[in-house]
Amino acid sequence: MVAAILLQGEEAAEHVAAVPNWFVEHTWLVVLLPLISAALTLFLGKRTPGRGSVYGIAAVGVSFVLSLGVLWQFVQHGGATYESGVAWFQIGSLHVGAGQLVDGLTAVMLIVVTAVSLSVHIYSIGYMHGDQRFTWFYVVLSLFTAAMLNVVIANDLFQLLLGWEIMGVCSYLLIGHWWEEHVNSSSGIKAFLTTRVGDVPFMFGIFVLVAATGFETSNIREIGEVVAGGELSIGIVSIAALLLFGGAIGKSAQFPLHVWLPDAMAGPTPVSALIHAATMVAAGVYLVGRLFEIFVHAEPYVLQVVGVVGGITMLGAGLLGLVQDDIKRVLAYSTVSQLGYMVAIMSIGPIGRDAAFFHLFTHAFFKALLFLGSGSVIHATHTNNMSEMGGLRRPMPVTFWTFLIGAAALAGIPPLAGFWSKDELLVGASEGHEVLFVVMVLTAIVTAFYTTRMVIQTFFGAYRGRGHPHESPVSMTGPLLALAGATVFAGWLGAGPVGAAFFDWVFFEEPEAVELVPWVAALSIGIALLGVAAGYAVYRRWQERDPIRSLGPVYTLLENKYYLDDIYWKGIIRPIRDPLAAAVYWSNQKVLDGAVNGAAGLTKVSAKVVHAFDRNVIDGAVNGAGNLAGFTGGLLRYIQSGNVQRYAAFLFTGVVVLAIVFTRI
Amino acid sequence: MIRLPLVLTFAAVLFSTGVYGVLARRNAVLVLMSIELMLNAVNINLVAFSQHLQQVTGQVFALFVIAVAAAEVGIGLAIVILIYRNRETINVDEVNLLKW
């Protein structure tokens, strides 16, 4: 740790000195533990009792406790932002660091991520029991948790990007966990590529910001200060904000990139709960919240774009949730819709951000609860289709009651968490954002309606599936009960009547006076009950033909998901992919094969040349020497005539020659 | 006192005669005799120089040569006899089995 900075008001400074700060200073442990557990599970998992699940559960459990410690000390310190870090690498003048930035957002997100992750880790023991890649599942689960926590505590944009991308990879791996079925692996690819469409602008947003600061820093806090100080032109800030929002659109499944999330339900249900409901999809919202300075100091139209995108998403996805038969897809569209709420409300400024994070906080718990509940149901019935369920409240009482609590929270029934956070959203929008307010109210009715439909079709009436469903094991019902508890109580933290502790924790700089506006609360309850009543009226009795089909063309439109997938397929993917494939094929055939064949041909020719040279020149020299010796020897052998007198003649001739030579000398 | 050059000339003539005999004769016995001529020409030289230089070495050497020559002729004649027994000829031209 090269630098540790405490940033706070003056009265907080006095506070700080007195209170030990161990947990906050060691927030990085929260990230490190799941990472270590991922490595341990990978290398030792299969040889460990429990096939590796113990590492993940222990590590995330400790992380959860540490996160509680962080939040506790953070509150003790009166909300002092703590930052420390190390140098990571340097490019030119740009010093990229890695470290921890602990403020209210971080502290709360740590709790959310570790709590949900812990629940999912425990739940997966039962759900994934007997899976052939059980250990690998836990490896990726732990790695994902580490990556998400890294995003949460990152104090540098590049560090954040690192975690962001690892999350994407883990999401891809887990959606395609059962890759033997082609639809699962293609869903993974779709999720990965669709979020990538958003990640590219996000990356360029980072580049724009770093370049705008003159390649001085990529530290989030410093960039925030630079932007807040008005040192950058508003145009550049706006561009950066829009680009960054692109990343949030992709990751948080906002319109028009929401198409990957419903398909991501192909993954195991615990994954859907952890990644595609509670944490990773919330990362986009977190990103906007973390870099909110940039959005606030951009041109006003940027926040309007945020609001419009969120508004379209919340209502559009909510309507899609009406027509789904797959229980996980209902929840997926519900997630998209709720994320739309969070994104849209941030368009009204800092108050909206607080409300958005409160909703993120409560939504993480009740949506994880709903997903795990649906997983429990799927585990029992071996189908995702609600038309093959029904009447499950008797054989599965724990699942039923916890699911009912989650569903009521989603529908916005007081006093559950969803009511309080949705109420904050409506209060925020009610002050001068009429369009948004109306959209939110409509979405709330739709939400209550499809939630009711889902609960009735799954748990009431007669069982329509095969076999005899039974309650899930304790490892699955335990997390359900824990999350149900959180769903009941989490809302009170930010609730008006009992004091807004949540807002005190998260945003000390500007403690918002969160009041319970009576008419908004009444309206909120009213629309929730209206939606539930409508849902009950329509779905009271099981009908083979879904009553929603009587909507006619509207139903067709919804059934086809507004034809967005078709538009993407025919309008973007095919026109790009087919020529691209042809071009790649062509270049493969002509250029690459040509190069390969050419190289082979060249090698052949040169080999022939070398062969000929070897044969003729080198062997020629060797054989030639031999032949020459043989030939001259053949000539000379005739001297060996066997005639003694001729030998004597040579002898005397030689003597005479020698005599002459030596005489000369 | 015979003058040295005269003796040397005589020895040279004798030697040349011997050489001619060795090279030209076909009869192996005559070849051996020609060799004797050459050896004795050398002996004459040795003795002549011994006399001329007033040193006894040359004469001693000549005695050795005579002894060696006797042995040589002995072996040579034995070979000739064996050849004759085997081939019924002592013509050296016909004794040419050891060749290419």
| pLDDT tens for each residue of A11-21 | 444 444 445 67
Q: When comparing pLDDT for A2 and A132, which is higher?
A: A132
Spatial CB neighbours of A648, under 8 Å, sequence gap ≥ 6: B22, B23
Instruction: Tell me what pLDDT residue B36 has.
Output: 92
Instruction: Determine which of A89-93, A302-306, A406-410 has the lowest per-residue pLDDT on average.
Output: A89-93
Phi (first) and psi of residue A474, to 5 degrees: -60, -35
Range from A60-64, A484-488, A541-545, B83-87 carrying the lowest mean pLDDT:
A541-545
The answer to whether B23 contacts A652, with C-beta atoms less than 8 Å apart, is yes
Mean pLDDT of B55-72: 93
Q: What Rg, from alpha-carbon coordinates, does chain A have?
A: 36
pLDDT at A580 over 50: yes
Residue linked to tokens 């028009």 = A256
Q: Give the DSSP H/E element, type plus range, for residue A94.
A: strand A94-102
Instruction: Tell me if A643 and B22 make a contact (CB, 8 A cut-off).
Output: no
Determine how many CB atoms are found less than 10 A away from the CB of residue A301: 11
Q: Indicate yes or no: pTM above 0.80.
A: no
Mean pLDDT of A561-584: 81
Residue to test with chain B: of A637, A645, A646, most B Cβ within 10 A: A645
| Side chain identity, residue A587 | S
Tokens 């009795």 belong to residue: A541
Give, in degrees to the nearest 5, the angle at Cα A640 between A635 and A646.
Answer: 120
Looking at residues A437-460, what average pLDDT do you find? 87
List, in order, residues 6 or more apart from A654 with CB less than 8 Å away. none
Q: What is the mean pLDDT of chain A?
A: 83
Q: Cβ contact (<8 Å) for A648 and B97?
A: no
**Binary contact (A644, B100; C-beta < 8 A):** no
Predicted confidence at residue A506, as pLDDT, reads: 61
Higher pLDDT, residue A470 or A367: A367
Contact call for A642 and B98, based on CB within 8 A: yes
Give the distance from residue A624's alpha carbon to the nearest chain B alpha carbon, in angstroms.
24
**Would you call B92 and A641 a contact, using CB atoms and an 8 Å cutoff?**
no
Distance (Å, rounded) from C-alpha A57 to C-alpha A34? 9
Q: Does B2 touch chain A (CB under 8 A)?
A: no
Q: Does A640 touch chain B (CB under 8 A)?
A: yes
Beta strand pairing status for A3-7 and A94-102? unpaired
Chain B CB contacts of A642 under 8 Å are 95-100
Q: Is the pLDDT of residue A496 over 60?
A: no
pLDDT digits (tens, 9 = 90+) for A625-665: 999 999 999 998 888 888 888 888 999 999 999 999 998 76
Output the DSSP codes for A153-189: H--BHHHHHHHHHHHHHHHHHHHTTTTTSHHHHHHHH
CA atoms within 13 A on the CB side of A339: 34
This complex has an ipTM of: 0.85
Among A644, A647, A656, the strongest candidate for a mutation testing the B interface, having the largest count of B CBs within 10 A, is A644
Report the gap between the CA of B99 and the closest CA in chain A (Å).
Answer: 4
Helix H segments across A382-416? 397-411
Interchain proximity B22–A648, CB inside 8 Å: yes
What percent of chain A has pLDDT above 90? 9
A645 inside 8 A of chain B by CB: yes
For the ranges A452-466, B16-30, B65-79, the lowest mean pLDDT is seen at A452-466
Task: Report percent pLDDT > 70 for chain A.
Answer: 93
**Is residue A499 very low, low, confident or very high in pLDDT (cuts 50, 70, 90)?**
low
Name the amino acid, one letter, at A19.
V
The neighbour count for residue A556, using CB atoms within 10 Å, is 12
Please judge whether B96 and A643 are an interchain contact, meaning their C-beta atoms are less than 8 angstroms apart.
Answer: yes
Say how far apart CA A503 and CA A511 lie, in whole Å. Answer: 7
pLDDT tens, position by position, B15-26: 999 999 999 888
Contacts of B79 (CB under 8 A, 6+ apart): none
Is the pLDDT at A8 greater than 70? The verdict is no
pLDDT of residue A626: 93
Q: Which of B19, B98, B99 sits opposite A652 (nearest CB)?
A: B19
The DSSP call for residue A561 is G
What is the structure's pLDDT at A14? 41
Say if residue A256 is preceded by a cis peptide, omega within 30 of 0: yes
Given pLDDT bands bounded at 50, 70 and 90, which one contains residue A511? very low
Q: How far is A659 from chain B (nearest CA, A)?
A: 14
Task: For residue A265, give the nearest of A277, A280, A282 by alpha carbon.
Answer: A277
* The pLDDT value given to residue A99: 85
Q: What pLDDT is stored for residue B68 in this prediction?
A: 93
Compute the residue count for chain A. 665
Q: Output the pLDDT for position B8.
A: 92
Answer for the pair A377, A327: CB distance below 8 angstroms, yes or no: yes
pLDDT at residue A9, as a whole number = 41
Q: Cβ B99–A641 below 8 Å, yes or no?
A: yes
Q: How many CB atoms lie within 10 A of CB A228?
A: 13
Mean per-residue pLDDT, A596-617:
93
Q: Which residues of chain A are within 8 Å of residue B22 when distances are taken between CB atoms?
A: 645, 648
Element containing residue A87 per DSSP (H, E): strand A81-91
Distance from CA of B27 to the nearest CA of A (A): 11
As to burial, measured by CB atoms within 10 angstroms (0-12 exposed, 13-18 middle, 19+ buried), residue A611 is exposed
Q: Looking at residue A504, what is its pLDDT? A: 62
Dihedral, A655, A656, A662, B2 alpha carbons, nearest 10: 100
Tokens representing A424 are: 């904050």
Helix (H, G, I), strand (E, B) or coil at A85: strand
* Nearest residue to A220 (alpha-carbon basis) of A228, A79, A201: A228
Q: Which of A409, A410, A288 is nearest to A357 (CA)?
A: A288
Give the per-residue pLDDT at A525. 85
Record: contact A648-B23, CB cut-off 8 A: yes
Across the range B69-81, mean pLDDT stands at 93
- Predicted confidence at residue A193, as pLDDT, reads 87
Residue ranges of domains in chain B, CATH in brackets: 4-87 (1.10.287.3510)
* A606–chain B nearest CA distance, Å: 47
Give the residue-averaged pLDDT of A409-434.
81
Of B23, B24, B97, the CB nearest to A642: B97
Residue A318 has pLDDT above 80, yes or no: yes
Closest Cα in chain A to B16? A652
To the nearest whole Å, the CA of A616 is away from the closest chain B CA by 33
Is B83 touching A (CB cutoff 8 A)?
no
Weakest-pLDDT range from A116-120, A136-140, A280-284, A543-547: A543-547
The answer on pLDDT for A357 being more than 80 is yes
Residue A349 in 3-state DSSP? coil
Decide if pLDDT at A385 tops 70: yes
Q: What is the pLDDT of residue A411?
A: 85
- Predicted confidence at residue A654, as pLDDT, reads 93
Select from A640, A643, A645 the Cβ nearest to the Cβ of B22: A645
| Pairing state between β A3-7 and A81-91 | antiparallel
Please calculate the CA angle A389-A392-A397 and round it to the nearest 5 degrees: 155
User: pLDDT higher for B10 or A70?
Assistant: B10
> pLDDT by residue (tens digit) across A76-90?
777 777 888 888 888
Tokens read off for A74: 């953070």
Residue with the two structure tokens 């530290």: A219
Find chain A residues with C-beta within 8 A of B24's C-beta.
Answer: 645
